[in-house]
Structures are given as C-alpha cells and as structure tokens.
Structure 1
Amino acid sequence: MKNWLLLSVLLSVKPAFSSPSVEMLHWWTADGEESALAVVAEQFDSLPFTLKSEPITGGGGGPAKAILQARAIAGYSPDIALMEGPAIQSWAALGFLNNVNEVAASHGWDKSLYPDIKAIHQYEGNYVAIPLNIHRLNWMWINRKVLNQHQLSSPQTWESLLLALTTLKANGVSPLALGEDPWQIVQIFENIAFGVGGANYYRQAFVDLDPDALNSSETLEALNRFRALANIVGNDLPNISWNQGTKALLDGEYAFQFTGDWALGEMFSFEGEIPDYIECSAFPSTEKGFIYNVDSLAFFTKITGEDRNMIPIMASLSSPQFLLKFSQKKGSIPAQANISVNELSRCQQKSYQDYTHASTKGAAMPSLTDSMAVNPVLQNAVSNELYRYFMDPSISAETLIGHLHAINNEVFR
C-alpha cells in the first residue's frame, strides 16, 4: 500500500525538466508590488514554463536598470525585464528585443491601446514590449484624521497646501512623508512644474527641454515653490523608502504623501482596501492633467543561446483578465482602453476618468523622474541637478536653470 501511495505521489509531480524556467528581472520588492508580482506568477501555473523571479531592490528601479545593462553587455540577458518609456526603443534599436506583434494583433492593440501608450511600445512599426498598466504620479495622499485634528481642510490650491504644511509643522506634526531618495524628491518637482504651467509648458520644458521654456517665468516660479517646500520639510530627511512612508501615512505619523498610485498597492496589502480616512486628490494645478508612468515587460532574444517560443507567455501576460487583476493589486489602471474599471477602487476609478480626459485634451504627460519623458542620460543629469537644488539652499534658481541649459547643450550638441 505504501509503495502504491509513493508511486502515485511521484506520478503527480511534474518533473523539473518538463517546465523550463523563464527569468524575469524587475524591481517589484515592496509589499504591494510583491502582491502584483504574485498575479504574474499565477499566470505561469497554466503555462509550460516556470517563472524565476529576479528582484533587484531599489526604489525607482535604478539599480535594476544598471544590472540589466551590465548583464546584456556581458551576454546573459534575462528572458523578461521590466522596462519604462524611451528605454524600450533604445533596447529595441540595439536588437535585444523580440517583437510582440502576434500578441498585439490578437488583442487589437492598434485600437485598444491609448495613443501615448501605443507610441511607447513600438519601434520601426513593430510592437516590442507589453504594456501592463498606467500609474499616475501627480497624486496627493492625505490622512484626513491628521488634518481634522488641526482644523485643516484638504487643500485645493498651492497656497492652501503650503499653509497646511506650515501649520502642521508649527504644531509639531511631520507634514510630509518624504525620504531622501532623489527620485522621491524630484518627482514632487515635476508635479509642481505641471501645476504652475500646465501641459504645454511641462512638455516644452521637461520633455523637449526647450531653452525658452526652461528660461521662463514658469520655471522660476516652479523652482521657487520647490524651494518653499524644501524650507518646510528641511534637507535632513529621514532614510525611509516610499512604501515605509505610505505605511507611516496610514498610521498617522504624517499628514501627506506626494507619490504615485503604487501607494495604493501598499494600502491594499496593509488594509485590503483604501481606509475611509485616506483621501486621494490631484496635486494642485492651474490645469487638469495627468503625469503618467507605465510598467512594461520586454522579452529578450537569444537569452541562453537558444530561442524559445515565448508567444504563450506574451499572450498570457497581455490578456485583459490578467491586466485587470494586476492593476487591482498594483494600484494602477490597465493599459488597454477596452478593460472596465468598475471593479477597481474609488481612487483608481478617478485615475481612469482623469487619464481619459487628459488623454483627449493633450494633457497626459510622461514622467521625467520615472524614465518616461527623456532618455536615461538626460533624466539622470536633470534629476541630479534638481535634487542638489532641493538639498542645498545656497543654489539659486537662476544657477539651476543655467545648469539645465548646459546639460541640454552637452547632450544634443
């Protein structure tokens, strides 16, 4: 009897060699991100492959992108890599990426993808990566319990926001959940810049890096506001990650957090839903708009000296059912326009409404900080200058603008 039982167990176990592993390099390491990653892993349960997750710690994905580049140069790229923005076309131009045209055709991407999202994922007429979702960056996350304790209402303008932050600090309350990571800080600047000048200015100044836009009164005003915020929160920032900041916001240690809706994924992982006392509000702006980031998956060619048929994986990771489940955990909205958001949270439904409105009005803008607007060389150079400006009060706005001009001339000369 024991022998028969042992035999039945052995027969029920799928041999390791029957499911070749597929390596995916990514930077989803926070709790909410790991919940979304689990949805990816579930898709592999019905595939003849085993997912080998390779997480690289580091908010914003900087370390992961560096490791990906080093591995590609050394000749052992992962099978799949998480990517963002212009990097997709750069990798495709170098010949590293498989096209996903077959899957794009089966899902009707020419019609179901938003125009901005479609452009990001194409190179020379081919689709070269799978768009998973759309994150919004110009959010304010507000703990209304903390505001109510100090008789403050949710701010709708920059002036009322500055007053709330100042009042909280004067009352001994830490106003803003913000760590010392450069990307956390610079992300706030792009929210401020959009809030000052709107979509056209943001595009000209921080996507096109137009000299006239950079040297405008709007840039000076944006930098002055950035400095005002620095003066309130100080340059001695805590060493906390963005997800630690979200947890502290939920616990009432802070009143505000200015970050993308990946914060929602953390809230879902902590609370199961958005607590009633948490408010999601667009960052104050003279014009309604949406600053976005997109999580994309790219499939590398000649990974281990042999080509594999990755079509089943591509198809599985681009199905509408999967994309909806993924956004339910990640806090984002699906990248395909044909997916209903009725099952998503109140904040995600608001994000969807604001994105579709902004997209039709030309007010949906790619994030500079999160690798969506410009190439990585420009992104890093501009971000470093803005970070130094925030941390060093001796740097004037005029000096910073001069540095941005110099970067632009150096890269494009």
Structure 2
Amino acid sequence: MRKTCKTNWKFKSFIASSIIGGLVAASYAQAAGTVEVMHGWTSSSEAYAIQSLRDALAKQGIGWKDSAIAGDGGANAQQALQARLAAGSAPIAAATFPELMRSYQQQNTLESLDAYAKAGNLDARIPKELQPYIKVNGSYYSIPITMHRENMLWINKKVLAKYGDKAPTTWPEFLALAEKMKKDGIIPLALGGEDWQEAEIFSSIMIGLGGPAFYKSAIVKHDLKSIQSDTMKKTFETFRKVLSYADKNRAGRDWNVATQMVINGKAGMQIQGDWAKGEFLKQNKVPGTDFVCVSAPGNNANFVFVSDVFVMFKQKNADAAANQKAFSNLLMDKSAQELFNLRKGSISPFMDVPADKFDACGKQAIVDRAASIKSGGFLPSFLENIALPRNLRGAYVDTITSFANNPSMSADDAVKKLAAAVKSAS
C-alpha cells in the first residue's frame, strides 16, 4: 500500500487461480496457536512495521505465520491470495485495500467484524469519511491499520539547500527547480516505471491545478464534463513536463528504490505517498535535517488518504477463530496502532491515537487531516483502490500510463481517450 500495498493488480483467470491454489492448499493448514497473515509489505520499513504486530501477538502466546509475497507493488500478494480463496485455503487474515475487500466479501469469504467494531467503538474513533470504504452495506468487514497521505513531495535537504532551501509550492516552481537540478547533473525526479507511481503524480497535479472540487468531480463522480475540461487538458500537459525530469532508466524500478535515490542525493525529489518516510526513518534520517516533507505543489492542506486494511477470513477451526479474534482486537489497540504507524511512515486512522510520538511530518499530517476534513479537502485515493471500482480505476490508470509512455500522444488525445474509457467503464 506500498506501499507498501500499492497496486495495479487484476484478477487472473479463475482457471489459473484454481491451479495455483490447488498446488498450495495442502501447505497452508492453520497451525494451532498461530495467526497466518498474507500481505505484500516487504520493504525494510514495511517489514519493521509488521514486526511490531508479530511481537505484540507473541506477548499473548500467539505465533505469527508470515506469508509475505513481494513484487509488483502488492499485486503478486493479491493474486496469491485469490488463488488461496479459489482453493478453499484462506489464511486467517490478509492486508488489502477497501475495494478489494468488497470483492472478497462478495465471494462470501469474510467474517463480519461488527461485534469487534462495536466493542472497539470504531464508529467514534475513525473519520466518518473513511467508514463507507471499510464497510459493506453498513457492516464492518475490515479494520484499517494505516492512514497514509498520498499527495506528498520528498526532497533531499542538502540538494535543496543549493537552490535556496525553499520547497516548491506550485507546479511552475517545481518545474523551475527541476530544471536547475538537471543542469547541475542531479536527477530532479526519482520515479519508478510502475503505472501507479505515474498515476500518483497525475493525481497530485490534478489537485494542484484544479483543487479538491475538481478532483471530486473528475474522479470520484467521474463527471464527463470535468474530464473533458481545460483543467484536465492542462493536467496532462503539466504531467508531461514533470515526467521529463525523471531519468530514462526508471522502467521496472520499485518505489522504495526511487526513494533511496533521494536519500542518497542521486535524485533531488520524489512525489510519493508518505510510506516513503518509513524508508528515510529506517536509515535514521531526520525530517528537516536530512529530508523535507511537504504536500505536493499546490495541494496545501488537502489530504488524499490511503488506508491499508486487514480482513479476516472465515475459519472452521475453533483455535483459528480464537486467534483471529485476538488479532482483530490487537489491530484496534491504540498502542499497537501507534507503533505500527510510527514505523510505517503513516498516521493512524484512529483519531484517538496521540500525536506526541510522531515526527514533524506525522504531526503535520495529523493537523492537515483535521483541516481537510473541515474544508472538504479530505479525498479518497482512486489509484489505491478506494474511491473507484476496479474497472473505473483501470480506465483512469490505463489512460495515464498510455500518455506517460507515448510521447506522441497529445493532451487533447489523452482527454478524449480518458473520456471514452470512463464512459465505457461506467
């Protein structure tokens, strides 16, 4: 997310899933006193965060079977999970995204978490704007573990100091700074070749140019008039200029590898969700001293939220069900939420988790979350499988990717292609 669980995954064919699932089913019987958790968190900071949950369960005498599957921004983990479901061999729990949670619930594989949610007072502790995305028909089928902010800009502090030590607050300022870095032989923009990384940048440009109202109209409501507007055309034009400052060797590069380029000073900036902060912190880098964390240009206090959630799969074994209950309760514990998010780079989706242990970036995120909720700038990510169903998400991401990788495509052509794709998918 990612990510961390960042993903552009699509379900593979049922036949392929069944074959894979049949091969693995016998290997994953639940051991008594153990919670098996599937996830795609394999970067150093992500693994460090997961360890906090493993350690907390160990204190309760419960073991942890780690089914971490690396690759493709979490897509490989989701494919493997679907194979397990097809084989009738579900783990106790899995980390996923809200829209994917819905697909598992539709397959009748998930436990309702209403009883735990009521006991844990989730309705009062979680922003009401998040709740529709972690429920189905008003019932809880997931427990959020993170609240990441997607629309962030990360800058190497030493590099920025060469150019006046001022972070860009508009896209023209970003482009001017990038040009100076380029002339000095510094890669201005650290970027990987995955489509979701490109879409993150596009989303931030949309908000920077059009504001939250435009994002809600063009993305959340997928209004064709907004999609075909001059603002969307300008977004594509700016997107092309921003991409021109990434190096040409980015194909296949993972997000955390791009983050490392900024940490090392090989690159100056990265537009990435705040899971990137976990990589800085894991290497003992200090906000304001070694790196700068600010919202993407023009985004101000607007907060594009990403929430990784845990789902619990139906269990026939009584021991497995008891362990599942213990894990569900742990996920709602303030101390567990605090430590996981301190390590992950995110803030907690639970608003009663105290802010005092978070660094300057985390404290600012908490302040901006509160401000954006009041202003209407608290926005669900579309590329992280929250704001849109997967078919509509695909329409946006596929168009953005086509434009990013086809220099001959004009902004006008991209707008037409996007409108047609969204109309077809709606």
Q: Give the TM-score taking structure 1 as reference length.
A: 0.90
Q: Does 1:99 align with 2:96?
A: no
Partner of 1:130: 143
Partner of 2:370: 356
CA distance in 2, matches of 1:18, 1:219: 53
Partner of 2:260: 247
Aligned to 1:397: 411
Counterpart residue number, 1:383: 397
1:330 matched residue in structure 2: 344
- Runs ≥4 in structure 1, deviation > 4 angstroms? 303-307
Q: Report what 1:159 is aligned to.
A: 172
Higher-Rg structure is 1
1:174 maps to 187
**Higher mean C-alpha displacement, 351-360 vs 60-69:** 60-69
Which of 362, 365, 371 is matched with 2:385 structurally?
371
Q: Deviations over 1:279-318 (max 9, x none)?
A: 1111112663111100110001147799723222211121
How many residue pairs get matched?
396
In the alignment, the residues of structure 2 paired with residue 237 and residue 266 of structure 1 have an alpha-carbon distance, to the nearest angstrom, of 19
Calculate the aligned-residue CA RMSD, in Å. Answer: 2.1
Q: Which residue is equivalent to 1:268?
A: 281
Match of 1:108 among 121, 124, 131: 121
Query: What does residue range 206-217 of structure 1 map to in structure 2 within 5 Å?
Result: 206-217=219-230
Pick the aligned partner of 1:292 from 305, 312, 324: 305
Paired amino acid for 1:368? F
Residue 283 to residue 99, structure 1, CA distance change in 2 (3 Å):
same
Residue 199 (1) aligns with residue 191 (2): no
Structure 2: where are the runs of 5+ without partners? 1-29
1:90 matched to 2:100: no
Task: Report the 3-state secondary structure (helix = DSSP H, G, I; strand = E; otherwise coil) of the residue aligned with 2:112.
Answer: coil
Q: Which residue pairs with 2:5 in the alignment? A: none
For 1:53, what is the secondary structure of its paired residue? strand
| Of 162-171 and 229-238, the range deviating more from structure 2 | 229-238
CA distance in 1, matches of 2:338, 2:300: 29
2:188 match: secondary structure: coil
Conserved? CA contact 2:156–2:269, under 8 Å: yes
Q: Report the 3-state secondary structure (helix = DSSP H, G, I; strand = E; otherwise coil) of the residue aligned with 1:172.
A: coil
Q: Which amino acid aligns with 2:260?
A: K
Provide the residue aligned with 2:17 in structure 1: none
Counterpart code for 2:425 = V
Q: Which amino acid aligns with 1:33?
A: E
Question: Would the aligned equivalents of 1:177 and 1:256 in 2 still touch at CA under 8 Å?
Answer: yes
Q: Secondary structure at the match of 1:257?
A: strand
Q: Structure 2: how far apart are the matches of 1:255 and 1:388?
A: 26
SS in 1 for 2:273: coil
SS at match of 1:279: strand
**Mapped partners of 2:247, 2:387: distance in 1:** 28
Q: Which moved more, 1:68-77 or 1:269-278?
A: 269-278
Does structure 2 conserve the Cα–Cα contact (< 8 Å) formed by 1:18 and 1:48? no
Q: For residues 59 and 281 of structure 1, do their structure 2 counterparts lie closer, same or farther at Cα, with a shift above 3 Å needed? A: farther
> What SS class does the counterpart of residue 96 from structure 1 fall into?
coil
In structure 2, relative to structure 1, the CA distance for the partners of 1:265 and 1:152 (3 Å cut) is: closer
Q: Which secondary structure state, in structure 1, belongs to the residue aligned with residue 301 of structure 2?
A: coil
Tell which deviates more after alignment, 184-193 or 304-313.
304-313
Q: Is the 8 A contact 1:142 1:279 kept in 2?
A: yes
Give 1:38's aligned amino acid: Q
C-alpha displacement of 1:273: 4.4
Q: Where in structure 1 are there 5+ consecutive unaligned residues?
A: 1-16
- Residues 198 and 287, structure 1, Cα contact 8 Å, conserved in 2: no
Matching residue of 2:10: none
Partner residue, 1:185: 198
Partner secondary structure for residue 54 of structure 1 = strand
Are the structure 2 counterparts of residues 77 and 406 from structure 1 closer, same or farther at C-alpha, using a change threshold of 3 Å? farther
CA shift, 1:210, in A, is 1.1
Normalised to the residue count of structure 2, the TM-score between the two structures is: 0.88
**Would the aligned equivalents of 1:60 and 1:370 in 2 still touch at CA under 8 Å?**
no
Deviates more, 1:384-393 or 1:30-39: 384-393
Moved more, 286-295 or 221-230: 286-295
User: How many angstroms apart in 2 are the aligned matches of 1:19 and 1:330?
Assistant: 29
Deviation at 1:107, TM superposition (A): 2.0
Shift of 1:79: 1.5
Relative to structure 2, which stretch is displaced further, 387-396 or 266-275?
A: 266-275
Q: CA deviation at 1:47?
A: 3.2
Aligned match of 2:21 = none
CA contact (8 A) 1:249 1:255 kept: yes
Shift of the 216–92 alpha-carbon distance from structure 1 to 2, 3 Å rule, reads same
**Which residue pairs with 1:237 in the alignment?**
250
Asked whether the 8 Å contact 1:248–1:254 carries over to 2, the reply is yes
Structure 2 match to 1:13? none
- Give the corresponding residue for 1:52: 65
